[in-house]
Structure formats: C-alpha cells, structure tokens
A and B are shown apart, each in its own frame.
Chain A
Amino acid sequence: MMHAAFFLTFAVLTLAGAVAAALLRNLVHCALSLTVTFAGLALLYLSLGAEFVGLTQVLVYIGAVAILVVFAILLTRGSGSLPRQMLSSSGWRVGWLAAVAVGFVLVAALRDAPFAQSQGNAPVVSVKEIGQALMGPFALPLEIVGVLLTVALIGAVIVAMPEKPMLENPVLKNQMPEKQGGAE
C-alpha cells in the first residue's frame, strides 16, 4: 500500500517533468523540468531497491547532464521564450502522431505480456558486490567505458573549441557567416 503510493508519486513526478519538457516554451524551463524527470527516475530506482544506480543517476544526470544542457542553452543564447511557431518543426503533427502511436503499441503489448505479473523476490546487492563484479567479470566492459568516456571528453572539447586556423584561412573565411551580436 505504502509502496504503491510512493510508486504513483514518483511515476507522476517523472512523467509530469517529461510532459513539461515537451510543452514549455522557455528552453531553460524545459531543462529544469527535465531535471524533475531525472529526480523522479532516481526515486523510482531507489524504490526498486537499486540504491547504487539511483544515486549514480542523481550524480550523473542532475549533477552533470542537466548542468551541461543548461550551459549549452546559455552558450547558444537560447534562454529567452520562443514564439510558438519557432517551437515545433513543420511536421509536428505527424511527429506527435507517431510518438503517441508508439506509446499505445508499447502499452498495449505490455498489458497482456506473459511475464508482466511476476512479483519476483528482490535481489539484494551491496555496494561491495557491485565493486567486486566491476573488477571481476565486468572488468573488460568497465575498461571500455573508461576509454569511451575519455574519448568523449577529448572529442567534446575539440569539437566545441573555436577553430582558429579556419578563421585565418582566407578561402574558408569568406564562407563563414558574419558574427552577430555581442555578449549577452
């Protein structure tokens, strides 16, 4: 009973954040409501007994990804409210139709799936066991993730760096659009 109440609260929180991200007009508000979704998901993980994943979710998504999104919005001068026609792409009706159709198909398929009613007994996993699994059978995936994150770090820095040589190149310089506006 208690658990059902918690589940409903967290689920509503998660979905409300996502709906707000879909409908709000201000980009920063979208990013902040995305944070609400992340927090709701973390709470759902905690309610499922996955303590470590829930806390990692908070650390990575709220602590890093949400901040990144917000920084990107400010760096691209997108923090004001947009007019309605700027909000959605031209084919937004088709897009939402497709999304709603996908949602319906998924929910319909889940409702009479055979595995769905299983209650299962909750696995108990301590942080120590996670650490030992990461250093034991999952050592290779861990190393690969480490390499991936390093590559992503370097790649993101290089991609986002201003390209000095290109600006000095006279041929390319003419093709560059004029810089507009100053600092905010």
Chain B
Amino acid sequence: MTLTAYLIVAAMLFALGLGIALTRRNAILVLIGIELMLNAANLNLIAFWRFGAHAEPMTGMLFALFSIAVAAAEASVGLGLVIAWFRHARTTDLDEMTRMKG
C-alpha cells in the first residue's frame, strides 16, 4: 500500500471526527469526536514514519507515542469536566449550557 491510502483514511477519519464534534449535542460525544481527530493525526504520524524519508528512524514513532499520552490526559480531564458540569446542571446537553450567556 502507498502512503496516499493511509493518508486518505486518516483524512476521512478526521472529517468524521470533525462532523461529530460539530453536530452532536452531547458533551461526551463531542469529546469522542475530538478523540477521533487526534487519532487521525496519529495515523498520519505513523504513516509518514513508515513511508517517509527518515534521517532519524525513531522520531515519528515517539511523536505518536507522546501524542497518545497527551490524548489520554485530555480525555480524562475533559470527561472530568463533563461530570463536574453534570453535577451542577444535571445535563450534558451542550445546547443547554447557556449559563454564561449575557
């Protein structure tokens, strides 16, 4: 398989993640969309690591590993925020999160 095939899969995954993040009303689903976008970026990193011209064979892979670690931290804090908001407002619906509106 060529690099293009992997990159196209990643691009489609990114678009799907973006669609979920933009359209769904539930905060957890929006987080899921963001996770999908991050994963698409990871797939790109690994695909370039495999097919690219590499002066340093380790860099691309370690970039992906660090990205996974950061994504895990992001997910835990994001879901913690959703739960904290749920304690206050008893909802996870983003369209109802209007208390900061002037």
* Chain A in direct contact with chain B (Cβ < 8 angstroms): yes
Binding site for B on A (CB under 8 A): 3-4, 7, 11, 14-15, 18-19, 21-22, 27, 30-31, 34, 37-38, 41, 44-45, 48-50, 52-53, 56-57, 60-61, 64-65, 68-69, 71-73, 75-76, 78, 82, 86-92, 94-96, 98-100, 102-103, 106-107, 110-111, 113, 115-120, 122-125, 129-130, 133-134, 137-138, 141, 145, 148-149, 151-153, 155-157, 159-160, 162-163, 176-177, 179-180
Contacts beyond the supplied A64-B72, A123-B54: 15 A-B pairs with Cβ under 8 Å? A18-B13, A21-B29, A34-B35, A37-B36, A37-B39, A50-B61, A69-B31, A87-B24, A103-B12, A106-B15, A116-B3, A120-B53, A145-B69, A149-B69, A162-B87
Tell me the bound Cα distance from A7 to B16 in angstroms: 19
Q: Are A134 and B62 in contact (CB under 8 A)?
A: yes
Binding site for A on B (CB under 8 A): 1-9, 11-20, 22-26, 28-29, 31-32, 35-36, 39, 42-43, 46-47, 49-54, 57-58, 61-62, 64-66, 68-77, 79-84, 86-90, 92-95
Q: Are A89 and B76 in contact (CB under 8 A)?
A: no
Q: Are B28 and A155 in contact (CB under 8 A)?
A: no
Q: Are A102 and B14 in contact (CB under 8 A)?
A: yes
Nearest-CB distance from B49 to chain A (Å)? 7
Given contacts A60-B72, A117-B4, A160-B84, contact A49 B15 (CB under 8 A): no
Nearest-CB distance from A158 to chain B (Å)? 8
Given contacts A96-B23, A120-B53, contact A141 B66 (CB under 8 A): yes
Q: Are B28 and A27 in contact (CB under 8 A)?
A: yes
